[in-house]
Amino acid sequence: MEAWRPRPGDEGTGGSDLAGDLKRRILGWCRYLGWGRSIGAIISSTLIIGFAWLLFRQPPAPVEDGLAYATTSVADTARPASSKITVHVAGRVTRPGVYELSPTARVIDAVDIAGGMVFGANSDAINLAAPVSDGQKVYVPAVGEVIVDVATNGTAGDVTGPRFPIDLNTASIGELDVLPGIGPTTAEAIVRHRSERGRFASVDGLLDVPGIGAAKLEAIRGLVRV
């Protein structure tokens, strides 16, 4: 095989002849394939190279967003507490039942939401200004009813409210004041009558007290004694 020898005139040309040879080869291929196919091949090659670069390039480092996640977590856990309490209202009220009230509500609010007291309710037997708590039972007794406070463990507690019937000859103004239709003025008149004229011999003796008539006497007859 004959060894390759540079053609005359190649000496000293170096890289310029290589560039010219490459140019001639490219032009030859373009003439062989046609200019349309050649341009299409160049475009396809460029697209393939670009796609490969996008596919295999190293992805950028993720942006630290831990603070945003932490803020969301705090917002999720900071849930507001319940804004209502549940109270059972029973006894001498218009609509006994279970109601929702504000946490700052008092007994009077529980009675009002149940429609208020009905005739014969003893409003002085309970503390209307006392605060109520979730799960509490508010009971409005009738006049003459003895209230027994039952503790949460089911045992009987102290007896609250007046004991009926009330003794007209020993009752104080405060005890007489809880009787229906008997206010502080009439209660004071009963005590004064007892002090000035002596003990009551019978319940009918109340008719001699100023401010007490037959109708009022009949309303409290079963609640008093001598």
What are the tens digits of pLDDT across the range 117-170? 988 888 888 889 999 999 898 988 888 766 554 433 333 333 344 567 889 999
Q: What is the pLDDT of residues 68-117, one digit of tens each?
A: 444 444 444 444 556 999 999 988 899 988 999 999 999 999 999 999 99
Residue 175 pLDDT class (50, 70, 90 cuts): confident
For residue 110, give the nearest of 124, 128, 126, 122 by alpha carbon: 128
Q: What is the pLDDT of residues 205-217, one digit of tens each?
A: 999 999 999 999 9
Tell me the helices (H) and strands (E) count for the chain, helix number first.
Answer: 7, 7
- Residue pair 89/99 in contact (Cβ under 8 Å)? The answer is yes
CATH topology for 166-225?
Answer: DNA polymerase; domain 1 (1.10.150)
Which CATH architecture does the domain made up of 85-160 adopt?
Roll (3.10)
Mean residue pLDDT across the chain: 75
pTM (predicted TM-score): 0.36
pLDDT at 174: 79
Domain ranges across the chain: 85-160, 166-225
Helical H runs in the chain?
A: 15-33, 35-56, 66-77, 107-113, 173-176, 184-197, 214-220
SS3 at position 90: strand
